[in-house]
Structure 1
Amino acid sequence: MDSPGHEEVASFLFDQLGSLGFIAFRDQFFDQRTFTNILGIMNIDAPSFLLLTCHYDSKFLKNSPDYVGATDGAVSCAILLHMARVLHEYLREQFSRKEDIGLMLVFFDGHESMLDVKEDINSLNGSRHFAAIETMPLRSIELIISLNLIGAPDHIFLSHFSNTYILHERLADIEAELRKAGQLTECHKLFHKVKDHDSDIEDDHYPFISVIALHIVPHTYPEYWHTEKDNLANLYWPAIRNMNLIFPQFVYEYLENRIEFLSRIDKYG
Structure 2
Amino acid sequence: MLFASVLLPLAFLLSLGSAYRDVSDDTLKKLPGPGTDFDIKKGAILAPILRPRVSGTEGNVAVRQHFMDFFHKELPEWRIELHNSTSTTPISDGKEVQFVNFIATRDPPGATEGDVSRLALVAHYDSKYTPKDFIGATDSAAPCAMIMHIARSLDAALTKKWAAADPDDFDVEHKGLQILFLDGEEAFVSWTDSDSLYGARALAESWESSFHTATSIYRTPLDSIELFLLLDLLGSKGPTVPSYFKTTHWAYKSMAKVEERLRKLGLLKSSPNYPSKMAKRENKKPRRERNFLTEAGKSDDAFMGGFVQDDHVPFMARGVEILHMIPSPFPSVWHKPTDDAEHLDTDTVEDWAKLVMGFTAEWMELEGFFDFKAEKRKDFADKSEFEIP
Same structural fold, with TM-score higher than 0.5 when normalized by the shorter chain? yes
Match of 2:141 in 1: 74
What SS does structure 1 have at the residue aligned with 2:173? coil
- The answer on whether the counterparts of 1:14 and 1:39 sit within 8 Å (CA) in structure 2 is no
Cα deviation per residue 1:185-222 (whole Å; 9 max; x = unaligned)? 14242111254744420111111120111111111112
Cα deviation per residue 1:119-174 (whole Å; 9 max; x = unaligned)? 79511111111110106621222111111010112211111111111111111111
Match of 1:204 in 2: 311
Q: Residue 23 in 1 paired to residue 79 in 2?
A: yes
C-alpha distance in 2, partners of 1:118/1:82?
31
Match of 2:240 in 1: 156
Q: Residue 114 in 1 paired to residue 188 in 2?
A: yes
Match of 2:293 in 1: 191
1:27 to 1:186, Cα distance in 2 relative to 1, 3 A:
closer
C-alpha distance in 1, partners of 2:162/2:183?
28
1:41 to 1:228, Cα distance in 2 relative to 1, 3 A:
same
What SS does structure 2 have at the residue aligned with 1:139? coil
Match of 2:331 in 1: 222
What SS does structure 2 have at the residue aligned with 1:5? helix
- The answer on whether the counterparts of 1:159 and 1:194 sit within 8 Å (CA) in structure 2 is no
C-alpha distance in 1, partners of 2:201/2:245?
20
The one-letter amino acid paired with 1:190 is F
**What's the TM-score once normalised by structure 2's chain length?**
0.61
Cα deviation for residue 238 of structure 1 reads 2.2
Q: Residue 42 in 1 paired to residue 109 in 2?
A: no
Cα deviation per residue 1:66-114 (whole Å; 9 max; x = unaligned)? 2110111111101111111221211233147642112110100011112
- The answer on whether the counterparts of 1:53 and 1:145 sit within 8 Å (CA) in structure 2 is yes
Structure 1: state its 5+ residue gaps: 258-269
Matches of residues 89-128 of structure 1 in structure 2 within 5 Å? 89-95=156-162, 98-115=172-189, 117=190, 122-128=195-201
C-alpha distance in 2, partners of 1:184/1:132?
39
Q: Residue 13 in 1 paired to residue 67 in 2?
A: yes
Cα deviation for residue 245 of structure 1 reads 1.1
Match of 2:3 in 1: none
- The answer on whether the counterparts of 1:113 and 1:120 sit within 8 Å (CA) in structure 2 is no
Cα deviation for residue 249 of structure 1 reads 0.8
Cα deviation for residue 15 of structure 1 reads 2.1
Deviates more, 1:18-27 or 1:144-153: 18-27
Cα deviation for residue 49 of structure 1 reads 1.6
C-alpha distance in 2, partners of 1:101/1:154?
34
4+ runs deviating over 3 angstroms = 95-98, 117-121, 194-199
The one-letter amino acid paired with 1:23 is R
Alignment RMSD: 2.0
C-alpha distance in 2, partners of 1:58/1:252?
29
1:186 to 1:52, Cα distance in 2 relative to 1, 3 A:
closer
What SS does structure 2 have at the residue aligned with 1:94? helix
The one-letter amino acid paired with 1:35 is F
**What's the TM-score once normalised by structure 1's chain length?**
0.87
- Greater strand fraction, Structure 1 or Structure 2: 1
Bigger Rg, structure 1 or 2: 2
- The answer on whether the counterparts of 1:14 and 1:25 sit within 8 Å (CA) in structure 2 is no
C-alpha distance in 2, partners of 1:119/1:200?
16
Q: Residue 60 in 1 paired to residue 129 in 2?
A: yes
Deviates more, 1:242-251 or 1:191-200: 191-200
Match of 2:262 in 1: 178
Total equivalences in the alignment: 254
Matches of residues 130-149 of structure 1 in structure 2 within 5 Å? 130-134=203-207, 137-149=221-233
Cα deviation per residue 1:237-267 (whole Å; 9 max; x = unaligned)? 222121111111100101229xxxxxxxxxx
Structure 2: state its 5+ residue gaps: 1-54, 89-96, 166-171, 211-219, 272-289, 367-389
Identical residues among aligned pairs (%): 30
